[in-house]
Structure 1
Amino acid sequence: MSAEIVQFMGQAGPYLTAALGAYGTGVLTRAEDAAVEATANVGRRMLRAVWRSRDEQGRAELETAVQDAAEEAGDAEAADAAAALRRQIRRTVREDAGLLRELAALLPAGGPVTVTASGERSIAARTIGTAVTGDNTRLGP
């Protein structure tokens, strides 16, 4: 397997996991939801692109892997199901270099971002204009 595919799969993992968590088994058919975090939508678009590039048998295999990964989430079999899904994706991108470029282009520059706020009145944001916490705060003149 090429280093490019290995690198892509490492970067894509959090997006695929978020998509399965947000959409479950409907990840291949559900429309994009603006309210769902961007990470899940990127993963959903990746899975849909892989699904579209496969033949009927390949689509059925991918659907089974997605269903297993969504159903096994959070239990002892989750890692095995996620690995089976990654194998399906790797198989597809090995056969279609154009698809690998398409999927890699979906990844935001710099990879996934995790922002954490901890403590009373904390704020967490990737980008922010004005943020105010506290009582009796006034903005402007």
Structure 2
Amino acid sequence: MSTEIVQLVEQAGPYLSAAVGAYGAAVLTRAEDVAVGAAVEGTAGLGRRILQVVWRQRDEEGRAVLESAVREAAEEPDDTDAAAALRQQIKRALREDAELAREVAGLLPTAGVTVNVSGDRAIGAQHIGIAVSGDNATIHPSQR
């Protein structure tokens, strides 16, 4: 499950950063705000929900540590170490509580398809019919 937790936290990272950037240290206690724009609520709102779910499941000491990590990330938005410390706290919480990990996984959007392509004339696609990457190629109707 360790690899799955790392992947969950990596997937949640942009949402967490958006939430801390939009709401600051108040992200843990902020209620739904219907006045917030849809774009912010879409990204930052999901990050806020993830942080709040994790925060609610922690004991008093765990909450204090998470609050500290959120505060530092909010105060230093360009500090990659502060963002990493926040992700580390989320990772620790998910490793300690399998049910929490499942709940956070359920909040995240299902992963899309990633296609990595490298090299001259490389072709990358999820679905493909006919693809030609060579010079002077001719496609005949019978080959379709």
TM-score class, shorter: 0.7 to 0.9
Partner Cα distance (2:110, 2:89) in 1: 25
Give the equivalent residue in structure 1 for 2:122: none
Taking structure 2 as the reference length, the TM-score comes to 0.71
- Once the two structures are TM-superposed, the CA of residue 57 in structure 1 deviates from its matched residue by 0.7
Is structure 2 residue 22 aligned with structure 1 residue 22?
yes
Q: How many pairs were matched up?
A: 108
Q: How many angstroms apart in 1 are the aligned matches of 2:55 and 2:84? A: 17
- 1:52 and 1:16 mapped to 2: Cα distance? 16
Counterpart in 2 of 1:41? 45
For residues 15-48 of structure 1, give each alpha carbon's deviation from its aligned partner in whole angstroms, at most 9, with x where no partner exists: 0001011100100011122423311011000000
One-letter amino acid of the counterpart of residue 101, structure 1: R
Q: Which one-letter code corresponds to 1:80 in the other structure?
A: D
Letter in structure 1 aligned against 2:67? E
- Aligned positions of 1:52-131 closer than 5 A: 52-74=56-78, 78-110=79-111
- 1:104 Cα deviation from its structure 2 partner: 0.8
List 4+ stretches of structure 1 deviating above 4 A. none
Distance, in Å, in 2 between the alignment partners of 1:59 and 1:7 is 23
Secondary structure (helix, strand or coil) at the match of 2:16 reads helix
The correspondence of residues 4-19 of structure 1 with structure 2, limited to 5 A, is 4-19=4-19
Highest CA radius of gyration, 1 or 2? 2
CA RMSD of aligned residues (A): 1.3
5+ residue gaps, structure 1: 112-141
TM-score with structure 1 length normalisation?
0.73
Equivalent residue number for residue 130 of structure 2: none
Q: Work out whether residues 69 and 85 of structure 1, in 8 Å CA contact, stay in contact via their aligned partners in 2.
A: yes
Provide the C-alpha distance between the structure 2 equivalents of 1:86 and 1:73, rounded to a whole number of angstroms: 14
Partners in 2 of 1:31 and 1:105 — Cα distance? Answer: 20
> Percent sequence identity over matched residues?
67
Paired residue secondary structure (1:37): helix
Instruction: Judge conservation of contact 1:33–1:41 (CA < 8 Å) in 2.
Output: no
Q: Matches of 2:33 and 2:109 in 1, distance apart?
A: 18
